[in-house]
Amino acid sequence: MAKRRVEVDSVGEGLLEILQARGVKFFFGGGAGTDFPPIIEAFAKRAALGTGNRSDHPLEPVTVMHEITAVAMAHGYTMVTGEPQAVMLHTTVGTANAVGGIVNASRGRVPMFIAAGRPSITETGHVTSKSQGIHWAQESYDQAGMLREYVKWDYELRRGEQLEAVVDRALAIGQNPPAGPTYLTLPLEVLGGPLGTFEYGEVPRLRPSLPARPGAEAIEQAAERLAKARNPVAITASLGRDPNAVAALRSLAERLAMPVIEFWNTHLNFPQDHPLHQGYLSAPFIQDADVIAVIEADAPWFPRDTEPAEGATIIQIDEDPLYERFPTRGFPTDLGLAGNPRLTLSALDAALAARQLDESAIAARRARCARDHQEQRTAWQSAGEAASGETPLEPAWVSRCLAAQMGEDDIAVTEIALDRTQMCFTRPGTYFNHAHSGGLGWAPGAALGAKLANPDRTVICAMGDGSHVFGVPTSTHYMARACDLPVLFVVFNNSAWDRTRLATLDFAPDGWAAKTDSMPLCELEPAPDYEKICQAAGGYGERVENPAELPAALSRALTVVREERRQALLNVISSKSRTPPPW
C-alpha cells in the first residue's frame, strides 16, 4: 500500500489531514468550545501555508452557530450526495445539544463522522491542562453513553499513532449497511499533543462491505409468491435513499402491474405521476392483498387500525428486514430478503422475467390501477381547489401553490408540513421528509445542507412553526447568510402543536380537550413574526394571510432566492387540522 508522509504539529492537524485524504469535504464545527483550539490552530496553519490544498477537494471548515444546525446540515448534505461529512461538538454539553439530530441520522441511516472534545484530563503540567471553570463540571464518566444506543460505533482516541486506523474504522462502519453515525471522543491532551511525521495509506485500510443481495433460493421463493399473487402490493417509505433503486422498483412493479404505496415516505421512492402509484395510505390495500412487499418501510401500516388478511404473505425487503435496533416491531415477516434493496429488486425482476406469468390478470390489474390513480388524483385536485378560499390558509392550498412554482429538479425538504396529495415528485432525490424518529428542527438545517451540496438548484424548506423554532431560527438564518445558501423557507404557521392536538382528539374524540377552544399544552399563541428573524439575517420575509395573495408572494420569494441569491421566508398563517391528513 502506497504511503503518504506529512509533518504535522498536532494530532488535531493529523485528524484534518486524514479526513481530507478520505474524501470528507466539510468539517462542521458546532458551537466551538475550549476543546477546539488544536483544530482551530490546524485550520489556520493550513490556510496560511496552503497545506490543505493537496487535494482536489480540500477539507473546508464550516463555523456553525448551534449544534442542532451543524448535525442537520451534515445530514442534509449526505442525504443528497451519499457522502459522509464530519461534525465536531463541544464536549458533553455540545453532544447533548446534538443528540436529537444524531437520533434522526441513526433512524434515517445517514452515515456521519461525529467527533467531540473531552475536557482536559490533567489539572496541571501541560498547556492543555484544565484552565477554565467549566473543565471540571463538563467532565463525565461516560460521555458517549448519552448516545451509544444511536451510534454504530464509539471510541475515545488514546494516542496519536492510532489516528489512521481509528478514523478509517469510524468512516467504514458508518457507511457499512445499514449506515449510521459514529462517534469519536477526543481528549484535549491527545488532540493537542504532538504527532510529528504522520504516515498514512493513500487509500483507507478499511472499507464498507460491498452491496449484497439475498441468495438465489430466497429470491426464487419470493418470485414464486409474487408470480402467483392475485393482488400484490408494494409499500415503501425510504427506498429512495438510494436514488438508483427507484428504477428497479418501477421495473418490477410494471412487470406485475403491482400498485405501489408510499406510506409515511421520507424520500421519493416511485414516480408519483405513474399509474401504479396509488397514493400514501396503506390501509385500504393491505386487507385485500395476498402478497405484500414491504420495501425499506419501518412501519408499513398501523396494526392498531388494520392488519393484513389471514394467509397473506409478507415479504420484507431491507438491509435489515427485522429492524434489529428497534426495541419493538411486530410486523410479520414470512420472507425476509436481507440485502441491498436495489440489487434485491433487480434480482426479483429478473427471476420473474424468466417465469410464465398470468398476463390477463396483470392486464386487468394495470387497468384497475390506472383508473384508480386517475380518480384519486382528480379527487385530490378538487380538494386542493376547494381549499383556495379558506382563511386561515389550508395546507392543501399552500402545497398546491408551491407545486405550481417548483421545477422538476427543485429539492423539497419538509417536516410534517407539505400535503403530498397536492404535489407530484417524479425524480429521485427531489423530496426529503423527516426521519420517523421525529426529532423536530431537522428540516431547516437539512435544507441548508442540501443547498450546500447543490448550489445551483432551488431548495425549498416547508415546515410547521414548531419545527422552525426547534431548528434554532437565529442559527438557521445566520448560516444561510454566512455560507451563501439561499433557501426558501415556508413556515406553515398554525400557532399550535398540531400533531399533538390530533393525537389528543384520537385518544379522546369526545373528551374535555375536544370541547375546548384552547387545548392545554398545544397552543403557541401569540406567535412570533417569524419573517422578521429571516430579515434580521439579510433575507426577504413576508407574512401571508390571504390565500389569494399566496401565489404572488411565492413568486416574489422565489425571485429573491433564484435571482438575488438571498434566503427568503414566508410566514403563512395556516389553519389547524380538523382531521388527520390523508397522507
pLDDT in tens, 152-180: 999 999 999 999 999 999 999 999 999 99
- DSSP, collapsed to helix, strand or coil, labels residue 543 as strand
Contacts of 377 (CB under 8 A, 6+ apart): none
DSSP-derived letter for residue 169 is H
Question: Which residue matches cell numbers 492537524?
Answer: 13
d(CA 484, CA 217): 53
Q: How confident is the model at residue 119 (pLDDT cuts 50, 70, 90)?
A: confident
- Give the residue among 252, 408, 405 at the shortest CA–CA distance from 315: 252
Task: Name all domains of the chain by residue range, CATH numbers in brackets.
Answer: 3-201 (3.40.50.970), 216-374 (3.40.50.1220), 390-573 (3.40.50.970)
* Position 263, amino acid: F
Q: Which amino acid is at 254?
A: E
CA-to-CA distance for 231 and 221, rounded, in angstroms?
17
Band of the pLDDT at 582, cuts 50, 70, 90? Answer: low
| 497, 522 contact by CB (below 8 A) | yes
Using the 8-state DSSP alphabet, how is residue 105 labeled?
H
* pLDDT tens column, 349-403: 999 999 999 999 999 999 999 999 999 999 999 999 999 999 999 999 999 999 9
Q: What is the pLDDT of residue 430?
A: 98
Q: What grid cell was written down for 414?
A: 419538509
Terminal C-alpha separation, the chain: 52
The pLDDT of 286-306, averaged and rounded, is: 97
pLDDT, position 583: 54
pLDDT in tens, 407-435: 999 999 999 899 999 999 999 999 999 99
Task: Transcribe 136-162 into DSSP letters.
Answer: HHT--S-GGGGTGGG-S-EEE---GGG
Triad 66, 477, 563: Cα angle to 5°: 145
Cell 501555508, residue located: 49
Residues 17-37 have pLDDT tens digits of 999 999 999 999 998 999 999
SS (H, E, C) 182-251: EEEEEEHHHHCCCCEEEEEECCCCCCCCCCCCCCHHHHHHHHHHHHHCCCEEEEECCHHHCCCHHHHHHH
User: Torsion over CA of 350, 355, 360 and 362, rounded to 10 degrees?
Assistant: -30
Q: Which of 326, 344, 177 is CA-nearest to residue 249?
A: 344
Range with lowest mean pLDDT among 48-52, 115-119, 301-305: 48-52
- Taking residue 317's Cβ as centre, other Cβ atoms within 10 Å add up to 26
Element (H, E) at 376: helix 359-386
- 3-state secondary structure at position 428: coil
With 90 as the cut, is the pLDDT of residue 127 above it? no
**Taking all residues of the chain, what is their mean pLDDT, rounded to a whole number?**
96
Across the range 510-531, mean pLDDT stands at 94
| 311-333 residue pLDDT tens | 999 999 999 999 999 999 999 99
Q: In this predicted model, what pLDDT tens digit does every residue of 180-192 receive, in sequence order?
A: 999 999 999 999 9
Q: How far apart are CA 408 and CA 524, in angstroms?
A: 35
Q: Is the pLDDT of residue 146 over 80?
A: yes
Residue 21 contacts residue 15 (beta carbons within 8 Å):
no
pLDDT of residue 66: 97
Q: Which residues contact 353 (CB under 8 A, 6 or more apart)?
A: 255
Three-state SS at 316: strand
pLDDT tens-place string over residues 196-227: 999 999 999 999 999 999 999 999 999 999 99
Q: Are 87 and 112 in contact (CB under 8 A)?
A: yes
Asked whether the beta carbons of 281 and 261 are under 8 A apart, the reply is yes
Rounded distance between C-alpha atoms, residue 551 and residue 555, angstroms:
6
pLDDT of the residue at 526: 94
- For residue 545, the tally of other CB atoms under 10 A from its CB is 14
Is the model's pLDDT at 104 over the cut of 90?
A: yes
Residue of 80, 61, 62, 26 whose CA lies nearest to 451: 80
Which DSSP symbol is given to 564? I
